[in-house]
Chain A
Amino acid sequence: MKRLRSLFLAPAWLVIALGFWIPMGIVAAYSVLTRGMYGGVELPITAESLARFADPLYLGILAKSFVLAGIATVLCAVLGFPLALFVARASSRKNLWLSLVILPFWTSFLIRTYAWVFLLRDTGLFNTMLIATGAISEPMPLLYNDGAVITGLVYGYLPFFVLPVYATLERQDPLLRDAAADLGASPWATLLRVTLPLAAPGIRAGALLVFVPSLGAYITSDLLGGSKTVLIGNLVQNQFTAGRDWPFGAAAGMVLMSVVAVLLVLLLRRDPESLL
Chain B
Amino acid sequence: MKRRVFLSGLAGVAGCGGSRTLRLNVCNWSDYVAEETIPNFEKEFGVEVRYGTFESSAELFAKVMSGNSGWDVVFPPAEDLQGLRALNLLAPVRHELLRNLDRLEPGFRRPPWDPELRWGIPYMHGSTGIAFQKHLAIRRWADLWRDPLQGRITLLDDPVEVLGACLKKLGFSINSADPVELRAAQAEALELKKRIRAFLNAEVRDQLVAGDVQAAQAWAITAQQAIAETDRVAFAHPEEGFPLFCDNAVILRESRRQALAHRFIDYLLRPDVAAAIVVATGTATANGAARGLLPAEVRDNPVLYPPEEIRRKGEWFEPQPPASRKLRDRLWTEIKAA
A interface residue numbers (CB < 8 A to B): 35, 37-40, 57-58, 60-61, 64, 121-123, 139, 141, 143-144, 222, 225-230, 234-235, 238-245
Given contacts A141-B151, A144-B198, A57 and B329 within 8 Å (CB-CB): no
Please, which residues of chain B bring their CB within 8 A of the CB of A58?
A: 333
- Of B65, B159, B197, the residue contacting A39 (CB under 8 A) is B65
Q: Are B62 and A39 touching (Cβ within 8 A)?
A: yes
A91, chain B: closest CB distance, angstroms = 44
Q: Are B333 and A242 touching (Cβ within 8 A)?
A: no
B interface residue numbers (CB < 8 A to A): 56, 58-59, 61-62, 65, 83, 86-87, 151, 154, 157-160, 193, 196-200, 207, 210-212, 322, 325-326, 329-330, 332-334, 336-337
Interface SS majority for chain B? helix
Whole-angstrom CA separation of A234 from B83 in the bound complex: 25
Q: Are B61 and A38 touching (Cβ within 8 A)?
A: yes
A99, chain B: closest CB distance, angstroms = 28
Q: Are A40 and B65 touching (Cβ within 8 A)?
A: yes
Please, which residues of chain B bring their CB within 8 A of the CB of A235?
A: 333
CB < 8 Å A-B pair total: 90
- Sample of 15 further A-B pairs with CB below 8 A, known A40-B65, A234-B336: A38-B83, A38-B86, A39-B62, A57-B333, A57-B334, A122-B210, A122-B212, A141-B197, A222-B157, A226-B197, A226-B200, A230-B337, A239-B329, A241-B58, A244-B61
Whole-angstrom CA separation of A240 from B56 in the bound complex: 12
The 9 listed contacts between A and B (C-beta, < 8 Å) are A37-B86, A38-B83, A57-B337, A61-B337, A122-B210, A123-B211, A226-B199, A228-B193, A243-B332
Whole-angstrom CA separation of A226 from B199 in the bound complex: 5
Q: Are A121 and B212 touching (Cβ within 8 A)?
A: yes
Q: Are B207 and A229 touching (Cβ within 8 A)?
A: no
Q: Are B333 and A238 touching (Cβ within 8 A)?
A: yes
**Which of B198, B210, B326 has the most chain A CB within a 10 Å cutoff?**
B198
Q: Are B325 and A227 touching (Cβ within 8 A)?
A: no
Residue of A nearest to B55 (CB): A241
Q: Are B62 and A241 touching (Cβ within 8 A)?
A: yes
B252, chain A: closest CB distance, angstroms = 15
Q: Are A144 and B65 touching (Cβ within 8 A)?
A: no
Whole-angstrom CA separation of A227 from B162 in the bound complex: 13
Residue of A nearest to B59 (CB): A241
Please, which residues of chain A bring their CB within 8 A of the CB of B337?
A: 57, 60-61, 64, 229-230
